[in-house]
Chains A and B, each alone.
Chain A
Amino acid sequence: MKLLRFFLIVILLFSLNSLNAEENDKRNEITKNLRCLICQGQSVYDSDSEFANSLKIVVDKKLQEGLSEDQIYEYFKTKYGEWILYDPSLNKNTYILWLLPILIFLIGGAIIYKSFIVKK
């Protein structure tokens, strides 16, 4: 019983901790969507490189200037290109990426419909 209570407290502490961290920072949300260009598979948020640290400062500054999230993404896109965004926009290079899941979903749905529902 004691052990259970201990674990409950620990879990509660951890969840409170993350709650606190998440609520105050729009900057974190934005930097999580920016790719650290000089790192391997890390976001700007995760990285502690010189590049990422400067980028965090720039995001802070832009937020203070009153730019919206989309405007900030747009700003970095003009500086570094599409690659810096984790969420690519729909264009001629990325249409397969966007349309393929929908296509597969529709085909899959059709197969299920054909084989299970029509059979009945």
Chain B
Amino acid sequence: MKNKILPFSVIIIFGIIFFIFYKGLEDSKIYTPDVNTKKEIPVFNTKEFFSGENLKSSSIFELDKVYLLNIWSSWCVPCRQEHPLLMNLNSENKVNIIGMNYKDNLKNAENFLIELGNPYKKILIDLDGTLAIEWGAYGVPESFLIYNNEIIKKYVGPLNQELVDEINLLIK
């Protein structure tokens, strides 16, 4: 009897370890952020890009309107690519696009807008990146679809035509 316990428990332990590692193989090792959970938008204070006036979060987002908060920067290459899509989206007038200028030189940012156009209703300034952290953002570019002070959907990375179609579908 005694002789049997040892090999038996060894087999069980290896079985458990094998099972766990085997299960672990199926999991994706690439971190995928949770983009679908609805979250309240954060409360914050910041400055407006052009006027330099203080802005409160409550004065930016009104209930019953759809907003797209887009985090961008003049030094960010993918932002340049997605910019025409934002211009299109703005011309359709279905969604209010709010910009958040991330860790940027304001002069460069202004040139960026002069060169490519300004699709934003308002632009917030985030000089040290802490405002983006409040929003739970990872970097630039990133977009948040907001309705009734709730983040409905988060888009990490540049928008493309497919995602814009999805946004159009969501805000119908």
Q: List A residues at the B interface (Cβ < 8 Å).
A: 37-38, 49-51, 53-55, 57-58, 61, 79-81, 83, 96, 100, 104, 107, 110-111, 114-115, 118
Contact = CB atoms under 8 A, between A and B. Distances in A.
A110 B2 CA distance: 12
Interface of B: 2, 5-6, 9, 12-13, 16, 20, 31, 33-34, 103, 128-130, 132-134, 136, 138-139
16 contacts: A38-B139, A50-B103, A50-B129, A50-B139, A51-B138, A54-B103, A54-B128, A58-B133, A79-B134, A79-B136, A81-B34, A83-B31, A100-B16, A104-B13, A114-B2, A115-B2
Main SS of the interface on chain B? helix
Given A100-B20, A115-B6, A37 B129 contact: no
B57 to A, nearest CB: 15
Given A83-B31, A100-B16, A114-B2, A54 B136 contact: no
A84 to B, nearest CB: 10
A54 B132 contact: yes
Contacts of A80: 33, 136
Contacts of A115: 2, 6
A114 B6 contact: yes
Nearest to A114: B5
A114 B9 CA distance: 12
B130 A54 contact: yes
Given A83-B31, A110-B9, A114-B5, 11 more contacts: A37-B138, A38-B139, A50-B129, A54-B128, A54-B133, A57-B128, A57-B130, A58-B130, A80-B33, A107-B13, A114-B2
Contact of B5 (A49, A55, A58, A111): A111
Contacts of A54: 103, 128-130, 132-133
Nearest to A80: B136
Contacts of B6: 111, 114-115
Contacts of A50: 103, 129, 139
A37 B31 contact: yes
